[in-house]
């Protein structure tokens, strides 16, 4: 089954996520980096989820990764795949797998970043087979 274009609801940025969405609008995928423990995390936030330091910043990542797990939503009017992608830099992010045959998606499959337009908001990071 081939994935189809579906409308993507616009994210609602808040004070903590605005810089992330601004970077998406520029075609950049950012994750959080803790300056105290050095670990990367997704979603970017003001406090490190590992050591709870508030000394964090955004860091751009390559947009390369592999599918950690996924599920195809077939009961939706337009079927789609939701997945956790493990980024090459380490963090895992929930996303969609797009622009591919949904029946050919596999755990461990290499994927690359694409941005999909949302309805009246910033583009949303998603992934397609590499």
| pLDDT value of position 7 | 87
Topology of the domain covering 18-129: OB fold (Dihydrolipoamide Acetyltransferase, E2P) (2.40.50)
Q: Does the pTM of the predicted model rise above 0.85?
A: yes
Which residue, 37, 35, 26, 100, is CA-closest to 63?
A: 26
Question: What b/e string do you get for 63-94 counting C-beta neighbours within 10 Å, with b at 16 or more?
Answer: bebbbeebebeeeeeebbbebebbbebebbbe
Give residue limits of the domains in the chain: 18-129
- Kindly report whether the peptide bond that precedes residue 43 is cis, defined as omega within 30 degrees of 0: yes
| pLDDT value of position 3 | 54
Q: Give per-residue pLDDT as tens, 47-106.
A: 999 999 999 999 999 999 999 999 999 998 999 999 999 999 999 999 999 999 999 999
Q: Estimate the share of the chain in helix, then strand, then coil, as percent rounded to the nearest 5.
A: 10, 40, 50
DSSP 102: G
């Amino acid at each position: 089954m081939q994935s189809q274009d579906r409308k993507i609801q616009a994210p609602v940025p808040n004070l903590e996520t605005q810089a992330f969405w601004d970077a998406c609008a520029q075609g950049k995928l950012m994750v959080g980096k803790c300056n105290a423990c050095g670990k990367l995390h997704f979603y970017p936030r003001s406090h490190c989820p590992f050591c709870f330091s508030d000394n964090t910043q955004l860091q751009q990542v390559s947009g390369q990764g592999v599918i950690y797990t996924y599920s195809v939503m077939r009961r939706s009017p337009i079927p789609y795949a939701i997945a956790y992608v493990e980024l090459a830099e380490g963090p895992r992010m929930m996303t969609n797998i797009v622009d591919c045959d949904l029946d050919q998606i596999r755990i461990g499959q290499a994927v690359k970043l694409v941005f999909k337009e949302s309805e009246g908001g910033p583009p949303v990071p998603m992934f397609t087979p590499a």
